[in-house]
Structure 1
Amino acid sequence: MVASLVACSTPEPEPAPEPKSTDYFGYQINNPLLTTNAAANDGVATNAQVLSGRLYPAPFVPGPSGQTIPNSDLVTTQMLPGANRQVIYTLSADAVFSDGKHVTCSDYLLAYEAGSNPELFGSHLPLMEQVEKVTCLPGAKQFTVVFKEGEGSRWRELFGPGTVLPAHAVAKKVGMDSTAFFEALQSDDPDQIRPIAEAWRNGFTLDEFDPEMQVSFGPFRIESVGDEGEVKLVSNEHYYGDQPSIETLVVWPSTADSKELVDKKALRIADGSAAEPQWLDLNAEGSPYDIETSVGELTDTLRFENAGEWADQDARQALAKCIDPNTVAGESSRVSGVDVRPVGVHVVKHNDPLARHFQDIVGPHMAVDHEGAEKARGMEIKVGYSREDERKAAMVEAMRVSCEPSGITVIDATEEGKTLDDLGKTGIGEWGEETVEDGSIDAFLGAVDPMVEYNTVDARANEMEKLREAEEKLWEELPAIPLAAQPRAFVIDRNVSNVVVYTGAAGIGWNMDRWQVANEEPASENE
């Protein structure tokens, strides 16, 4: 009888297979996904804002026409008059991280300290040089940023997307309570700050994803990181604003196979630079895609090391004289299929109407001067960029050809990819002494937002005299050479609405929590 009952029993159903990353809405970016820390050198080099802008939002966000919109769900601001500009920030009482901990002034103090100590933190936040101090109390919802005399007109660009990280998570990582952490940050003691700096620099990498560190105060949080480096985002249930329209979204790095994603119906939005990507056939039967191209508002720029032979401004000036920005821009246009122009202005965006007021300063630097470049004859410069990239390789090759007659050797040293961390740099040793670290590259080629890259006044007509002074100084010191406007091309699934093209640092995903999908197919059809 027992045997008969066993023989007739219904077998347990097989558990449903775990969904694959390709079963979800996919958004591919044009860079590797290395970190969510957009203020660290590797985050700056790979434009980490395209991901982390919706994890760690800024006090001001880009509007659809490039305007700056206050993020009042998170914070309100009040600027006070005076020789030393002051801005009071008041955080929303509802603003919390995805672990339930409150967003407080300590998070902003950490961002300030990181940006003010680039050698120790491995950070790149140039505008923090304008800040004299940040005053707040541990755990407070209000704080004040005090600027140095006459500075701070670009204050809305401070604390940009992906640069304000969870201080409480960093404190826990280094084994400090909130009081000890706060005191260490304000100590000016490298020995106390160093462990914080190391956790800040390394704790937000994606190849060693730590969910306790990477808590979010944006509309999404990271649930997991996949084998191909893809990042699975899910709704942040603790978010103080409207919940995302798409509950689960996978952000794919540039290294993922785009054609495979298309074949699996996993790619909905892609942010790239090629007007006719080889992996996409728009004429294929049933193709849901459109491509929208644009001259981006960022500037492809050559940033230099701050230690080594190319830290010498005479050498940089000589190199600038042999580079032909017209041929560099021409090669970028040829490969991308988007016609971009050469750029010579540092202090404002190339598409800003104010840019034309700098032509008398910029113009003389746009022509090739082999005689002037002779000062660097016999030198070689190794240039890198974030990943293998046909367009940037062509730009570097154009530099090589134009500088060869001057005896300057330009070498593409990218290999699998480089970041700002690969540049030669100064640092702070264990005893507080300055150290020099050789880099595997001498210059990094990447897109730059002039409004956050250069420490000067705001881009306004009434500041023109100071802007012109800053432009002249930048061409003298040459920490970076602007080359050309950045080409942008967006692949957009027509079934996705509320997609607003934006070519700034946050990319087309600046409002991805508002994207909506129609005609959604079951996940099983994507397998």
Structure 2
Amino acid sequence: MVACAPAPEPEEDLSTLDHFGYALSTPLRTTNAASLVGASTSAQLLSVRIFPSVYVAGPSGQMIPNTDLVSTQVLPGANRQVIYTLSEDTVWSDGTPITCTDYLLNYKAGVMSTLFESYLPLTEQIERMSCEPGAKRFTVVFKEDAGARWRQLFSPGTVLPAHAIAEKAGLSTAALHDALQAEDRDQLEEVARIWREDFNLDSFDPALQLSSGPYRVESVGESGEVTLVANERYFGDQPVLSRLVVWPGEVDKAALAAEGAIQIADADNYDWVNRDDPMNQLRVEDLEGILTESLVLGSSGVFYGQPSRQAFTACVDQRAVAAASSAVAGRELPVVGTHVVSHFDPVARQLAGVVEPKLGVDTEQASALWGTTVRIGYQGPDERMAAMVESIRVSCEAAGITVVDASAEGSTMADLARLGTGPWGEELYLEGSLDAVLRPVDPLVEYGGVIAEDGNVAALWEAEEQAWEEARIIPLAAQPRTFAIDGDVGNVVEYTGSTGIGWNMDRWRYEAPITEEEEE
């Protein structure tokens, strides 16, 4: 039997406006950052401290081991092995032990990506995973020479409660474990549906939305805001703030700020901050982000063949796109041409010999797609991304390619025309409303084919050449990030990577200023 945590007493006469507010620029659609929808909407910004990772990306680029959760041991060799040992007292928020089955589900969801509609690119480097039901210890064995980026496995928001999913699917956890090991599609069909759909926040299911981190989801509000409360069963330090509200990008931030409902924001502009108001508590930091805004191309339809992807790449003027983004952002954002490393990485400069010839337009090569229409989606409405798509439309027009802003029809990688794999290994053609998605990309997790060790320039050069040859993703420009931080909030460490400023939200401190009414 599983013990249930007692429900906290509701706070009387308090709305979500009365609690510490953290506003994002992205929609809050799911807590599952490993699904196509979650990866496209940066779900890890919300779920970073709900489903924490094995390693935490720090603000200086360092990977910090999450020793509260798990310890790791690396065995070198042609096939690198990593032994993971979960802490004995690790439990989900319902009291159920965290076991290797939770991690096996992550791995198999990546392997069976068509069934689960998952996006876990680094999974393709894994040869096998050894895991016994209920065990706290498991081993990941990588393919020959692979696994250089093993610390990025089991990333924030991607390891979900297997036992809760099994129960909802009408299976025991042991039966789910066996089905995962056997990759039994019939047994896993409902499991996969629950995994990809039922962590969606518009149909919040508290029995499923458990937590292995310092925060758990308590509720979802009418405006899509998500209330996080302390997970009393968390095995590490309890969060400093016992409750906070995360606001989705589509809300009126100016109105929330006027209500005093935003203490921290991770956004792409600060137009909503009234910096002339003497009562304004928010200081603004305008930064060039680590992530690369890129076009992720579909693998079916228009872009089924590599030559068509290469032809489209040839009509995209990255410098013009970066300029268009900069004009709307109000600050200069550099063009980015590297796939496999961040533009902040010193190695990026040493890859210029690969990258520079690829930037700009080759109308003759691009004209192979003459008469073709390419539909591009993104999380909108977004004036800056619309300007980027318009820039692409203009540069591709000369090659006879019609680029359409289709953000109203689709916005995630789940909307792409793409290839899949059927039950017998056959190729499936999955229709979609989009041919490409414009989204921020983390070079360290996006390219499963990269086996080069970080810092190995020769190997990274080869990987960069391969990425341009395959032309599945077109890097464009640095992502702009704007942080607005209340002066009364402490322990905030800015980070422009995939988990944003909220990477350490459980350490934030806040002492609300005393109002005149309270003084009286």
TM-score scaled to structure 2, two decimals?
0.95
> Conserved in 2, the CA contact under 8 Å of 1:153 and 1:457?
yes
Match of 1:350 in 2: 343
**CA 44–149 in structure 1, closer or farther in 2 if over 3 Å, else same:** same
The match for 2:272 among 266, 270, 279 is: 279
Structure 1 residues 446 and 523: alpha-carbon distance in aligned structure 2, compared to 1, 3 A threshold: farther
1:367 aligns with 2:360: yes
C-alpha distance 28-459 of structure 1, shift in aligned 2 (>3 A): farther
Query: CA offset at residue 182 of structure 1?
Result: 0.7
Letter in structure 2 aligned against 1:303:
V
How far has the Cα of 1:189 moved from its partner?
Answer: 2.4
2:70·2:85 contact (CA, 8 Å) conserved in 1? yes
Q: Residues 125-274 of structure 1: matches in 2 within 5 Å?
A: 125-274=120-269
What's the offset of the Cα at 1:345?
0.7
For the residues of structure 2 that align with 1:415 and 1:399, how far apart are their CA atoms? 17
Give 2:117's aligned residue. Answer: 122
Letter in 1 for 2:435: D
Deviates more, 1:165-174 or 1:514-523: 514-523
Q: Alpha carbons of 1:73 and 1:458: their partners in 2 closer, same or farther (altered >3 Å)?
A: farther
Aligned equivalents of 2:359, 2:500: Cα separation in 1: 29
1:387 is displaced (CA, Å) by 2.2
Aligned length: 508
Q: Whole-Å Cα distance in 1 between the matches of residues 331 and 34 of structure 2?
A: 29
Equivalent of 2:295, from 302, 314, 330?
Answer: 302
| Secondary structure of 2:203's aligned partner | coil
| AA in 1 matched with 2:14 | P
Secondary structure of 1:267's counterpart equals coil
1:55 is aligned to 2:50:
yes
Q: Deviations over 1:104-132 (max 9, x none)?
A: 10000000000111111100111000001
Q: 1:459 to 1:432 in 2, by over 3 A?
A: closer
**Which residue in the other structure is 2:384 paired with?**
391
Q: Which amino acid is the alignment partner of residue 41 of structure 1?
A: L
Contact 1:496/1:517 (CA < 8 Å) preserved in 2? yes
Residue 4 of structure 2 corresponds to none
What SS does the corresponding residue of 2:349 show, helix, strand or coil?
A: helix
CA distance in 1, matches of 2:295, 2:379: 13
The TM-score, its normalising length taken from structure 1, stands at: 0.94
CA RMSD of aligned residues (A): 1.7
Distance 1:120 1:524 in 2: 57
Matched, 1:446 2:439: yes
Shift of 1:522: 7.7
**Cα offset, 1:466, TM superposition:** 1.9
Distance 1:133 1:259, change over 3 A: same
CA contact (8 A) 1:27 1:251 kept: yes
- 1:336 aligned to which of 329, 340, 355: 329
Could you say if the C-alpha distance between residues 65 and 429 of structure 1 is closer, same or farther in structure 2, counting changes exceeding 3 Å? closer
Question: Are 1:420 and 2:413 counterparts?
Answer: yes
Q: By how many angstroms is 1:146 displaced? A: 0.5
Which entry has the higher C-alpha Rg, 1 or 2? 1
Residue matched to 1:457: 451
In structure 2, the CA distance between the partners of 1:523 and 1:101, relative to structure 1 (3 Å rule), is farther
Which among 456, 462, 469 is matched to residue 469 of structure 1?
462
Partner of 2:498: 505
Following superposition, the deviation at residue 18 of structure 1 comes to: 3.5
- Given that 2:229 and 2:242 are in contact with CA atoms closer than 8 Å, whether structure 1 keeps it comes out as yes
Kindly, what percent of the aligned residue pairs are identical?
Answer: 52
In the alignment, the residues of structure 1 paired with residue 131 and residue 181 of structure 2 have an alpha-carbon distance, to the nearest angstrom, of: 11
Shift of 1:433: 5.1
Cα distance change of structure 1 residues 477 and 106 upon mapping to structure 2, 3 Å threshold: same
Alpha-carbon contact 1:24-1:523 (below 8 Å) kept: no
Separation of aligned partners in 2, 1:429 and 1:523: 65
- Equivalent in 391, 411, 415 of residue 404 of structure 2: 411
Cα distance in structure 2, aligned partners of 1:42 and 1:21: 26
Partner Cα distance (2:191, 2:444) in 1: 28
Q: Gaps (5+ residues) in structure 1?
A: 1-14
Instruction: Answer yes or no: is the 8 Å Cα contact 2:453–2:459 preserved in 1.
Output: no
Looking at structure 2, the residues matched to 431 and 64 of structure 1 have their Cα atoms a distance apart, in angstroms, of: 44
**Aligned counterparts of 1:162 and 1:263: Cα–Cα separation in 2:** 31
**Offset of residue 423 of structure 1:** 0.3
Supply the distance in 1 between the matched residues of 2:431 and 2:92 (Cα, whole angstroms): 38
CA offset at residue 434 of structure 1? 4.0
Counterpart pick for 2:87 among 70, 89, 92: 92
Q: Distance in 2 between the 1:342 and 1:187 partners?
A: 45
CA distance in 2: counterparts of 1:516 and 1:59, whole angstroms? 24
The question of whether the paired residues in 1 share the 8 Å contact of 2:81 and 2:141 is answered with: yes
**1:285 partner amino acid:** P
Of the structure 1 ranges 414-423 and 99-108, higher mean CA displacement relative to structure 2 is found in 414-423
> 2:515 and 2:276 mapped to 1: Cα distance?
24
Partner of 2:375: 382
Give the corresponding residue for 2:473. Answer: 480
